[in-house]
Amino acid sequence: MKIAIASDHGGYELKEELKKYLAERGDIEVLDLGTDSEDSVDYPDYGVKCGEAVADGRAERGVVCCGTGIGISIACNKVRGIRCALCTDVHMAALSRQHNNANVLALGGRTTFIEDAKAILQTWLDTDFEGGRHQRRIDKIAAYEKNEGGIHE
């Protein structure tokens, strides 16, 4: 599996630790989209970069990090076809995959301990989408993105 990963300065340290974790797994190819230091940058630039990499097929899934995970997840979710979930524990990570088929995971570099982030990421990577009634809901979101309606039914 190919994973795109990106962060702003607030998520840089966490991004670097998660890259090491992914390399240790051995079954993941990482596409690092930056940033490359703790110098101040704007999270929307990196959230959108990661979202676009997933949306256009350069990566199967993505991981984004900023100080809290909030801002970068909002930016990432502006990319059509992206379902970025900010997860703060393994239960949220599992449900974001099972029910929402989240294709990008957001984490907070200043709010999540590294070992917790690794456990969240592992759960998120190893959990499959359940489909069924959940697919109908994903389809409604996709229809709305295409301005076809479907949300208010």
Q: Tell me the sheet residues that pair with 32.
A: 5
Strand stretches in the chain, DSSP E: 2-7, 29-32, 61-66, 84-86, 104-108
Contacts of 63 (CB under 8 A, 6+ apart): 3, 4, 5, 6, 15, 18, 50, 104, 105, 106, 107, 121
Looking at residue 6, its amino acid is: A
Q: Which of 9, 50, 65, 66 is catalytic?
A: 66
The question of whether 66 is a catalytic residue gets the answer yes
The question of whether 65 is a catalytic residue gets the answer no
**What is the distance between the alpha carbons of residues 149 and 124, in angstroms, rounded to a whole number?**
30
**What is the distance between the alpha carbons of residues 125 and 1, in angstroms, rounded to a whole number?**
9
* Active site residue ranges: 66, 99
